[in-house]
């Protein structure tokens, strides 16, 4: 049975977010896509804190994480997730415009599952996002999520 947990998109650039959401929609995935605009909101979503304290999302099937974010940057989000025993197995794809080797190396040191540089060309960007959506939403079998920090069970819909 396919895992229909949501895809979490963490992107502060409105144009990139819109393109990503459109590309994922065209994949006709059944997974809901949740978009947050900064690293602090991403952590609240993942930890079910703040405005997400009553969320019943079962944890995302994958996090598409921008590197350069307001409040808490992508590397800090990645480090926080990998350091949290309740979230550490969450698949994370760094989706960034950074071509700096130090960002690539640091992301892998912190445990990212994949590092994808956003193509500048519209069609290439669209194709890359659709490929990510199909792989993480359909092909990949994500790890089951353990109990949340609050003791509530997570579901695998």
For residues 134-144, average pLDDT:
76
53: tokens are 């304290």
* pLDDT (0 to 100) of residue 137: 77
pLDDT digits (tens, 9 = 90+) for 99-129: 899 999 999 999 999 999 988 888 888 888 8
Residue 150 above 50 pLDDT? Answer: no
pLDDT digits (tens, 9 = 90+) for 55-88: 887 789 899 999 999 999 999 999 999 999 999 9
pTM of the model: 0.85
Given a contact cutoff of 8 angstroms between Cβ atoms, the answer to whether 104 and 78 are in contact is: no
The answer as to whether 153 is a domain residue is: no
* pLDDT (0 to 100) of residue 123: 84
Chain CA centroid to CA 74, Å:
10
The answer as to whether 155 is a domain residue is: no
Where in the sequence is the domain holding 59, given as residue range(s)? Answer: 7-138
Domain CATH number, residue 17: 3.40.50.2300
* pLDDT (0 to 100) of residue 83: 97
The residue with tokens 């974010």 is 69
Domain count, the chain: 1
Tell me how far CA of residue 38 lies from CA of 6, 8, 11, 132, 137, in angstroms. 18, 12, 7, 21, 22
């Amino acid at each position: 049975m396919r895992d229909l947990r949501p895809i979490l998109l963490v992107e502060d650039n409105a144009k990139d977010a819109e393109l990503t959401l459109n590309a994922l929609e065209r994949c006709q995935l059944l997974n809901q896509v949740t978009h947050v605009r900064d690293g602090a909101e991403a952590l609240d979503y993942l930890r079910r804190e703040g405005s997400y304290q009553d969320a019943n999302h079962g944890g995302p099937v994958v996090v598409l994480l921008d590197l350069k974010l307001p409040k808490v940057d992508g590397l800090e989000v990645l480090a926080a997730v990998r350091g949290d025993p309740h979230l550490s197995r969450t698949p994370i794809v760094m989706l960034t415009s950074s071509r700096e080797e130090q960002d690539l190396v640091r992301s892998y040191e912190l445990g990212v599952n994949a590092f994808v540089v956003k193509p500048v060309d519209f069609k290439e960007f669209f194709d890359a996002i659709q490929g990510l959506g199909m792989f993480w939403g359909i092909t990949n079998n994500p790890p089951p999520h353990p109990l949340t920090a609050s003791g509530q069970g997570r579901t695998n819909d």
